[in-house]
Amino acid sequence: MPHLTFEYTDNLRADGDIPGLLKKANAALIAQGGVFPVGGIRSRAICHSEYCIADGDGDGDADYAFVHATLKIGFGRSEAEKNAACEDLFAMMKAHFAAIAAERYLALSLEIAEFSEADTWKQNNIHTRFRKA
């Protein structure tokens, strides 16, 4: 934990700098003052090539795009901690896509979901790297 997933439409592939987005996302989570252990942060992006947005560009002059992020975290953070992490992540997303949003139709969204420790099984030796450091 946490797991972060960015879904994005393939019309953002050329200009969206998804590798940069992923690095900024991890940096934003690491910057939350230890709320999220570094070794547990896993961000990934899924590029969609099959999608239909709104009216499906019915009249041919629109070219909609979206980025939807889902942050799944383990149980136990305070509301303030969760809110701060999401505010920072979403501010980063808006800044990252600001130039694109100024030029085209773009929907950005972020959701957070939490599960209880009881519902999760884990084995992660990446943590050892950061405990040693």
Catalytic positions are 2
Residue from 14, 33, 50, 131 in contact with its own copies (CB under 8 A): 50
Residue from 15, 76, 99, 124 in contact with its own copies (CB under 8 A): 124
At its nearest, how many Å lie between its own copies and the CB of residue 107?
4
β-strand partners of 74: 115
Count of residues that interact with its own copies, criterion CB under 8 A: 59
Contact present, 6 and 46 (Cβ < 8 Å): yes
Please tell me whether residue 31 binds its own copies under the rule CB under 8 A: no
Q: Which residues contact 2 (CB under 8 A, 6 or more apart)?
A: 29, 36, 40, 41, 42, 71, 72, 73, 74
Please tell me whether residue 90 binds its own copies under the rule CB under 8 A: yes
